[in-house]
Structure 1
Amino acid sequence: MLIGMPGAGKSTVGVVLAKVLGMNFIDSDILIQRQEGMLLKDIIEKKGLKGYLDIENQVNRDISVENTVIATGGSVIYCPEAMEHFRNIARIVYIKLSYNTIRKRLGNIKQRGVVLREGQTLLDLYCERCPLYEKYAHIIIDAEGLSVEELMDKIVKELAGK
């Protein structure tokens, strides 16, 4: 299971990782959109941050799969039930990147459905979330400067215990 900031490459590397490992792939943000019948940004706009996080917690908590790479939304670490569920059923891999890299990768963060409180900056969000990603991760991967292939190779090696 992959966690990390928006723009860290969870979905991108997750698809490649699933192919290489011969596993299935799930993007939990897409499950949320499918369940609610709208885009993440529209869910946040319509139901507010708390409403969105309640939905994110429920959707992720209810994922029950085997042999599957799961890419989660960056805010899943605000969902304690979902994170405890994942810690019990999966190896959690945190894709760690610097703030500058995340800032460069993210265009319009509101379009992406990033969970920001009123007045909160991307830097505030980064500083708040990184300790939570580290808290829940079984494996932390420094992805700075890595291509998708290099990141995928690093994750495979870590999962194999090398």
Structure 2
Amino acid sequence: MKNIVLIGMPGVGKSTIGVILAKQLGYEFVDSDLVIQRRENRLLSEIIECEGVDGFIEIENQVNASLGVEESVIATGGSVVYGDEAMEHLKKTGTIIYLQISYQSLEKRLGNLKGRGVILREGQTLKHIYEERIPLYEMYADYIVNEENLDIEETLQKILEIIRI
């Protein structure tokens, strides 16, 4: 069985849902942000601060493009869709599920963006990156799960229905 790859904006629950999904499937769980931190030996926020947005995206792309896992649920960072090699690799080795929520819901869920390691270019807002990434998430997704007004359990059920087709 292929990997299950969760993509979407920060705060949509990729890691939370990923852990539970992995348990239910008997899969490993991989949080690609943690893999990046381990490989770089520093926090995401430190990488972004030192390397800048483009440097971080390059590191994220390399790490995700080289993930050699099977039967795993992979929770990716929200900016993974900027890396062509990473997305090609993830698509080849897994089923990509985009966890989608409205901008209004996202805004309510997210507190301090900097502390979350969210990459914002100079003058960019959350609204900017939301609008920039949506077409990329949609382009790469094998399936889209709209999480609007769903709790974690309901979102999980939707994903399980999709992968058991």
Structure 2 matches for 1:68-147, cutoff 5 A? Answer: 68-147=72-151
Give the count of matched residue pairs. 161
Q: What stretches of structure 1 move > 4 A for 4+ residues in a row?
A: none
Q: Separation in 2 of the partners of 1:82 and 1:125?
A: 19
1:94, distance to aligned residue in structure 2 (A): 0.1
Q: Tell me what 2:71 maps to.
A: 67
Q: Report whether the alignment pairs 1:8 with 2:17.
A: no
- Any unmatched runs of 5+ in structure 1? none
Q: Tell me what 1:52 maps to.
A: 56
1:89, distance to aligned residue in structure 2 (A): 0.7
1:19, distance to aligned residue in structure 2 (A): 0.5
1:38, distance to aligned residue in structure 2 (A): 1.1
Q: Separation in 1 of the partners of 2:149 and 2:38?
A: 33
Matching residue's letter, 1:25 = F
Matching residue's letter, 1:146 = L
Matching residue's letter, 2:111 = G
1:64, distance to aligned residue in structure 2 (A): 1.1
- Any unmatched runs of 5+ in structure 2? none
Q: Separation in 1 of the partners of 2:70 and 2:37?
A: 22
Q: Tell me what 1:24 maps to.
A: 28
Report the TM-score when normalising by structure 2: 0.96
Q: Separation in 2 of the partners of 1:33 and 1:100?
A: 30
Report the TM-score when normalising by structure 1: 0.98
Once the two structures are aligned, what percentage of the paired residues are identical?
56
1:159, distance to aligned residue in structure 2 (A): 1.0
Deviations, residues 48-88 of structure 1 (Å, cap 9, x unaligned): 11110111001000101111000000000000000011111
Q: Separation in 1 of the partners of 2:150 and 2:20?
A: 14
